[in-house]
Each structure stands twice: as structure tokens, then as C-alpha cells.
Amino acid sequence: MEKLPKIALPTLLVIIILFIVIAKSAVTIGSGEAGVLYKTFGGGVVTDEPPMGEGFHIVAPWNKVFVYEVRQQEVFEKMKVLSSNGLDIQLDASAWFQPKYDELGKLHKEKSEQYIDRILLPAIRSAARSVVGRYTPEQLYSSKRDAIQAEIFEETKKIVGDQYIQLNEILVRDVTLPNTIKEAIERKLKQEQESLEYEFRLVTAQKEAEKVRIEAQGKADANRILSASLTDKILQDKGIDATLKLAESPNAKVVVVGSGDDGLPLILGNQ
């Protein structure tokens, strides 16, 4: 009984030491994450091996693991840029990105965990200033936003392409112009719309007038052809047909045959 405490104390001490070592050595990589191993006595950051994947890992207690999110992420940026004529434009944009998985060790070694602030955001600002500087405020406000977004994406992609960052998309969320410029553009667009509407009405009226003219010309041509084809003989035949129809009518009439001009029937009564 006297020896038990002497044996139990070292055992307990060993258990505690083992527990501390295991706690220091155990690393859990979460979902959508990857780990970069840093070997204190083995050359520093490991760049020639794939990063540590999701799950539970045991590493030497004197080494470190830096955990990175490798899923697609989004970063927002508000910036002031200049248009082609030197006006201040506020641009709100966001970027979809993720670190390149197989080059995560190089990213950590060369760019560090602050790669978003050190690499990505400055690249977006530089590309946005370069692209927006090619356009006027009118183009930024209306028709060129999609083109601007695509150009910023392409230029940013070129900058970060060799920086171990995978850029998936750039989204231009808002373009804010000075109020005076915005109001002037809106007035101009309204005037252009009114001008287009007036031109449309004018073209419509011209087409309608042309339609009426063509119809009138057609009627005139038809009457001219009809007049040319109506000989005295045809008129007399038509007069005879009309006389027969009048004679068959139940209404009482006095019809004098041959008393009208050119021998056509003359109607004297309508009772």
C-alpha cells in the first residue's frame, strides 16, 4: 500500500505528458479547408507535397499546420476611380476566388495568410482603374457595364494568374456617378428617347399616308379601266337588266323604257 502512490505518481505524470503531446500533435482539418505543414526542423513550409486534406491528422508537436479555406470565397471592394474625362466614379465590385489547391504551400510561403489584402484586392483596384479610365460616365451609367465587368475580370485574372490564386468571376454591383453628372445623363437619355419616339411617329405617319395614296391610286386606276371598258352597247344591256329587275319588284313604279339618256329606263314613280 505504501508503494502504490510512488508507482502511481510517475504513471500519472507519463499519462499527462502523453496527453499534452497528443493534443499538440492532433490537427483536424474542417470541411472545405486544407492545411499547410510547417516543419520546424525540416526546412520550413512544405511545398513539394499536396496540402493536408480534410479530417484528423497527427503531426510532430514541434511542427505547425496553417489552415486555409479552399472553397470559393467572395470579397467586396468599394473604390474610387476616374473616368476617361477625369470625373470621380465610385465602383462597388466583388470577386469570387479561391486559392489554388495544389499550390497552397507556395501561396503560404510567398504570399502568407494575408494574400487577399496583399495580392487580390490591389489587383482588382489596379484593373478597375485601368478599365474605367477608358470609358465616359455615360457609357459607365448605361450600356457598357457588362463590357467593363468582363474587362476588369480579364485584367485581374492576368495579374493574379501566377500568384497561386484562382479567380472565378468579377461582379460590378454598382456604379455611382456625381449627382450633377447623373442628372445630366438622365436628361440626355430622356431627350434621346423622346427624339426616337418622334421619329417613330413620323415614320408611322409617312407609311400611313403612303398607304392611303396607294389605295387612292388603285381606286383611280380601277375607275379609269372601268370607264374605258363601258361602251354604249354594254350600258344598254345593263339598262335592260335593270329594267327587268325593276319590273319584278313588288313596289309600284312607272317605268318608261327608252326615255332616258342613251335609251336607259327612266323611273317616274316610287309609290
Segment 170-177 mean pLDDT: 87
> Highest mean pLDDT: which of 3-12, 32-41, 54-63, 176-185?
32-41
Kindly provide the residue ranges of all beta strands, DSSP E only, lying in the chain, ordered along the sequence: 26-29, 33-39, 44-45, 55-58, 64-69, 73-82, 88-99, 165-176, 255-256, 266-267
Torsion sign across C-alpha atoms 69, 72, 73, 79: positive
For the chain, the straight-line distance linking the first and the last C-alpha, in angstroms and rounded, comes to 152
Sign of CA dihedral 40, 118, 35, 51: negative
Q: What are the residue ranges spanned by the domains of the chain?
A: 4-69, 73-177, 187-229, 232-267
pLDDT band at 101 (very low <50, low <70, confident <90, very high): very high
For residue 60, which of 26, 20, 94 has the smallest C-alpha distance?
A: 26
What confidence tens digit (pLDDT) does each residue in 68-82 have? 999 999 999 998 888
Give the C-alpha distances (Å, rounded to integers) separating 238 from 235, 242, 248.
5, 6, 16
Per-residue pLDDT at 157: 94
Lowest mean pLDDT among 89-103, 205-219, 256-270: 256-270
The per-residue pLDDT for 146 is 83
Q: Which CATH number fits domain 73-177: 3.40.50.300, 3.90.1150.10, 3.30.479.30, 3.40.718.10?
A: 3.30.479.30
Residue 83 in this model has a pLDDT that exceeds 50: yes
pTM metric for this prediction: 0.62
- Please give the Cα distance from 264 to 258 (Å, whole number): 5
